[in-house]
Structure 1
Amino acid sequence: MNGPEIHLEVAPELRLFVAHERRRGRTAVVTDGSSTLGHVVESLGIPLTEAGQILVDGRPVPVSHIPGAGELVEVRAVERPQHIPGAPLRFLLDVHLGTLARRLRLLGVDAAYESEDIGDPALAALSARERRVMLSRDRGLLRRRELWAGAYVYSDRPDEQLRDVLERFAPPLAPWTRCTACNGELSGADKDAVRERLEQGTEKTYDVFAQCVACERVYWRGAHHARLEAIVTDAVREFGGATTR
């Protein structure tokens, strides 16, 4: 770029996206004089999904603003909780976020997940077609224009990922109502109706079952229930919802 010089200040939450020398406060950026502010912000490494209000000399401006010489640009983080207008809140997760997808489903959150790498264009198209918020740690994917909406997942640890998504979007929680395998809805199941799907030990030990209406997977309070119950209890305590089946 060889044009007007602007001054840039990035919110602390967004500094992980920019070069190290821009993380300490206000820095100079030379623009080309024709690119929009949205393009400038993205060229510095910040996905626009993570940019909240953008101020120029203290005034809010759209990402279509073309910056002029000497302007002070402040890029703020997205406000939390973030409201996504236009459709019920639903998510789409890429191939690297399987554990997060299962935990969201455990809490009753609609979370579609691609267990195979179908490629960024296909994921972006699916996000647009089904109006799902794309969750990913892939910054390139989040820059695709065809995305309906998106959000960067800041941690690589499932516990922190879950807190991040619940804090950012505040989805309504309805634990134990979705299939963690396929995202379908669960309904109560009579033991006799699912008996042929049970191993002998399970049939003798348990009497309360649920079944996915989509893939017909059967659920019961088995050996892993205490661990799952702890995830649900912690999430409901902090973010609200119901713990009863």
Structure 2
Amino acid sequence: MADDLGLFLPPRLREGGVTATAADDSTLGHLVESAGVPLPEVGRLVVDGAEADAAYRPRGGERVEVHAVTRPQAVPEPELRFLLDVHLGTLARRMRLLGIDTAYHNDCDDPVLVEQANAERRVLLTQDRGLLRRRNLWFGAYVRGTRPDAQLDDLLRRFAPPLAPWTLCTACNGPLRPVPKESVADEVEPGTLASVDSFARCGSCDRVYWHGSHGGHLDEIVAKARQTVEAVRG
């Protein structure tokens, strides 16, 4: 089992190999998931030195190598878009800050998430292993890390998505468009209006954005993300 997949195994199985007993109708994919590893996290499967797929039926006594997905991972869609489950709200906002098309709802259950991911061909990001095991999910990925900065780093290293910072609304994922300063005069504080010249408005929810005193921290997130993606792409 690849080191990167060890987090899915029970602690007692993380050192050394995993021994599994297959029933007559068990597939290799079933055995891998029975050990705790969701198939969307699995890359190459090698049985006694030969490439195999998840549908292969083990005969017994074989040595199986389970590799993690290759990073950066390709997605079979021309546009890389994401859908995040209810526990990844902060990550969703940071992805939108970077201009990554990110759908997020804080009140959707698993079947609805899978339905939307499939209908819109979005990669479903989650830390729910059970959700990743749903057979009808077209493409999913497990997000590593407990803090948003680690989660974002994992996402960037896994998919190396194209970045377009400051182009999406962090609240709703709508497009941001520059607007004249005069058009927001009634919506921002006088002090802000006096000190800021550039404003943008969300085309979906009408929120107004500008680069304010909080911008330093956001600038750091953007700069680090760009460096990470550049490094991954080589």
Q: State if a TM-score over 0.5 links the two structures.
A: yes
Q: Secondary structure at the match of 1:45?
A: coil
Instruction: Check conservation: 1:139, 1:152, Cα contact below 8 A.
Output: yes
**Aligned residue in 2 for 1:194:** 184
* Cα distance between partner residues in 1 of 2:27 and 2:18: 18
Between Structure 1 and Structure 2, the one with more strand by share is: 1
Q: CA deviation at 1:205?
A: 2.3
Work out the number of aligned pairs and report it: 231
Q: Secondary structure at the match of 1:236?
A: helix
Choose which of 69, 90, 97 in structure 2 pairs with 1:99.
90
**Aligned residue in 2 for 1:7:** none
Q: CA deviation at 1:206?
A: 1.5
**Aligned residue in 1 for 2:37:** 46
**Aligned residue in 1 for 2:105:** 114
Q: Given the two structures, how large is their TM-score scaled by the length of structure 1?
A: 0.91
The runs of at least 4 aligned residues of structure 1 exceeding 3 Å deviation read: none
Q: CA deviation at 1:213?
A: 1.0
Residue 22 in structure 1 maps to residue 22 in structure 2: no
* Cα distance between partner residues in 2 of 1:66 and 1:235: 42
Q: CA deviation at 1:151?
A: 0.4
Choose which of 10, 25, 28 in structure 2 pairs with 1:34.
25
* Cα distance between partner residues in 2 of 1:146 and 1:196: 49
Q: CA deviation at 1:114?
A: 1.0
Residue 216 in structure 1 maps to residue 206 in structure 2: yes
Q: Secondary structure at the match of 1:65?
A: coil
* Cα distance between partner residues in 1 of 2:85 and 2:78: 20
**Aligned residue in 2 for 1:137:** 127
Residue 72 in structure 1 maps to residue 63 in structure 2: yes
Instruction: Check conservation: 2:96, 2:173, Cα contact below 8 A.
Output: yes
Choose which of 134, 149, 163 in structure 2 pairs with 1:159.
149
* Cα distance between partner residues in 2 of 1:94 and 1:164: 16
Report percent identity of matched pairs.
53
Instruction: Check conservation: 2:157, 2:228, Cα contact below 8 A.
Output: no
Deviation per CA, 1:38-68, whole angstroms, max 9, x where unpaired? 1111111100010110110011111000111
**Aligned residue in 1 for 2:117:** 127
Question: Which ranges in structure 1 are unaligned for 5 or more consecutive residues?
Answer: 1-9
Q: Given the two structures, how large is their TM-score scaled by the length of structure 2?
A: 0.95
* Cα distance between partner residues in 2 of 1:181 and 1:240: 27
Q: Secondary structure at the match of 2:185?
A: helix
* Cα distance between partner residues in 1 of 2:180 and 2:138: 40
* Cα distance between partner residues in 2 of 1:139 and 1:154: 12
* Cα distance between partner residues in 2 of 1:195 and 1:215: 18
Q: CA deviation at 1:87?
A: 4.1
